[in-house]
Amino acid sequence: MAPSGPTPGPSVTLDDDALRAAFASLDLAQQSGHGDMDPATFRRAAHAVADLMADYLEHVEDFPVLPDVEPGELRGRFPAAPPEDPEPLGDLLGDYRALVEPNITHWQHPAFFAYFASSGSAPGILGEMLMATLVGNAMLWRTSPVATELEEVTIGWLRQGLGLPEAFDGFFTDTASTSSLIGLAGARQAVAGMDASADGLAGRPALRIYASAEAHSSIEKAAMTLGIGRAGTRRIPVDAEYRMDVAALGAAIREDRAAGHVPCAIVATIGTTGPTSVDPTPAIADVAEYEGLWLHVDAAYAGATALLPERRDPFAGWERADSIVVNPHKWLFTPLDASLFLTRRPQVVRAAFSLVPEYLRTLDREGAVHDFNEYTPQLGRRFRALKMWMLVRYFGLEGMRARLREHIELARQFAGWVDAEPDAERLAPVPFSTVCFRWRPRRHAGHEDEPAVREELDRLNTAVLEAVNREGRVFLSHTRLRDRMTLRLAIGSVRTEPRHVALAWERIRAHAVRLDGERAG
């Protein structure tokens, strides 16, 4: 299906005949009833797939960022029953092209400004292909020696790049959600006088975790998973710049202790998901130290910028954390998934998850190497270090830094356009590459807090967001800051260029002026 709307459909670069011929030749190999595809067919198929991939990346910009589909519409285009008989590979790849490719939300699109970008750079994609080929399950050292040791090496590279001391050890997980779960499981395990992994929590006083009102939902999900619950997660209020109020944190801890609860961990966020605010980590670290609590730092998005020596101020104090998460799959151009988990207390984390049945014991080398599954809830682990190794080598730290600096500069420019526009206003500082703002026609200036104006601005900005996203040339998302509908533009795709950011502002302005004109009558 060709995408509809004002954006032109994807141009077919492998011309249809060449495509059909390439796919048809794949049909020649007869499938036998046993074993895998024969190597010669695999080679041809892999070349055809490589063409599909390169074609997609070359022309991803021609798709609307959001596919023009209604919920449930796609299911009906696929057979409800599985095929009984083998199908020709060419048919499969043709269907991929026709049914899958146009109907994805194009995370690789250079005008993807919603949520946080999660783009896959070419070296990362190549790494994924090789990972899939080797399988390389890094559950034990023995099950993939190079996967385990390359993970140790690349973790060390990233740790150094981020400016963190050697005391931090770590590994890769799938997501920040898992990394924070692991960090908080370490915190739970570290609580004096109990062994949560051995005994569970039954009959124990309630544990408490502290995170700011702007902390990511994954912290509460971790609490839900760890038996601490949402009720055990205290959301600490934030100041005018959305940073955790440390006096309120101290008061909450004292109140909980007085009530007989057991404080367990504080989560400081460097780069919150809505306004990308930075909690005062040094003061929070003082509280954690004084109270004897585990400090977990969630820098899933913004952590990448610690690679920039001139922009380390927001990271002051994070070296005092017990555990830290940074997501390479957010702002380090790594195809989903890769989250970096670092901890000063790997033995505590290991105590939280280690369980070695006889069939997993490595009889001859116990203790000499990392068996990473002992530190995580999962047993099987992907060889993520391979793509990280390729990606870091391909870009070099300097190449990554150059891209991060450009994104930060583009966000600064965009914020400047918002600030210079009398009919718009910025709703949060821009410490990284995310701008929170809204359209606020000048006739409403000074009346923003009147209920009728509030509602009008919420409705107007909701309409602007819908119109911009429906058009499909750029994709933005939103949040609510101080109960105001807030548009949010986050820059971080490896493919974004200045013209895409300019296009975003142009489309937002055009729709906002039109919609406000219609509303004002």
Ligand X SMILES: *Cc1c(COP(=O)(O)O)cnc(C)c1O
Residue 219 Cβ vs ligand X, minimum distance, rounded to whole Å: 8
Residue 462's SS3 state is: helix
For residue 271, the minimal CB distance to ligand X (Å) is 6
- The answer to the question of residue 207 lying near ligand X (CB under 6 A) is no
Contacts (Cβ under 8 Å, ≥6 apart) of 18:
none
Among 41, 108, 323, 339, indicate the residue that binds ligand X (CB under 6 A). 339
Q: Closest CB to ligand X among 115 and 141?
A: 115
Largest Cα–Cα distance in the chain?
80
Environment class of residue 521 by beta-carbon count within 10 Å: exposed (0-12), middle (13-18) or buried (19+)? exposed
DSSP annotation string for 215-269: S-HHHHHHHHHTT-TTTTEEEE-B-TTS-B-HHHHHHHHHHHHHTT-EEEEEEEE
Q: Which is nearer to ligand X, 216 or 320 (CB)?
A: 216
CA distance 451 to 55: 51
CB of 382 to ligand X, least distance (A): 14
Residues 6+ apart with CB under 8 A from 441: 423, 460, 516, 520
- Is residue 277 at the binding interface for ligand X, with CB under 6 A as the rule? no
Helix 281-291 to helix 246-258 angle (10° resolution) is 20
The packing angle between helices 176-189 and 346-353, to 10°, is: 90
Is the bond preceding residue 95 a cis peptide, omega within 30 degrees? Answer: no
Q: Report if residue 433 touches ligand X, rule: CB under 6 A.
A: no
Q: Which stretch binds ligand X (CB under 6 A): 15-23, 192-200, 269-277, 459-467?
A: 269-277
From candidates 301, 333, 383, 437, binder to ligand X by CB under 6 A: 301
Q: Which is nearer to ligand X, 116 or 210 (CB)?
A: 116
Q: Min. distance of Cβ 431 from ligand X in angstroms? A: 13
- Rank residues 268 and 348 by Cβ distance to ligand X and give the closer one: 268
Tokens of 158: 């990233």
Q: Given the rule CB under 6 A, which of 17-25, 173-181, 307-315, 342-350 is the region that contacts ligand X?
A: 173-181
Q: Considering the complex, what minimum distance in angstroms separates the CB of residue 296 from ligand X?
A: 11
Complex with ligand X: residue 108 or 173, whichever CB lies closer = 173
Q: Is 177 in the site for ligand X (CB under 6 A)?
A: yes
Backbone angles phi, psi at 436, to 5 degrees: -105, 125
Bridge partners (DSSP) listed for residue 364: none
| Nearest 10 degrees: Cα torsion 62, 68, 72, 76 | -60
CB of 432 to ligand X, least distance (A): 11
> Pairing state of beta strands 233-236 and 339-343?
unpaired
Q: Is 327 in the site for ligand X (CB under 6 A)?
A: yes
Residue 119 is a binding residue for ligand X (CB under 6 A): no
Task: Convert residues 210-249 into a mask of x (bound to ligand X by CB under 6 A) and - (unbound).
Answer: ------x-x-------------------------------
CB of 488 to ligand X, least distance (A): 12
User: Which of 128, 220, 279, 298 lies at the binding interface for ligand X (CB under 6 A)?
Assistant: 298
What are the residues binding ligand X (CB under 6 A)? 116, 175-177, 216, 218, 269, 271-273, 298, 300-301, 327, 339
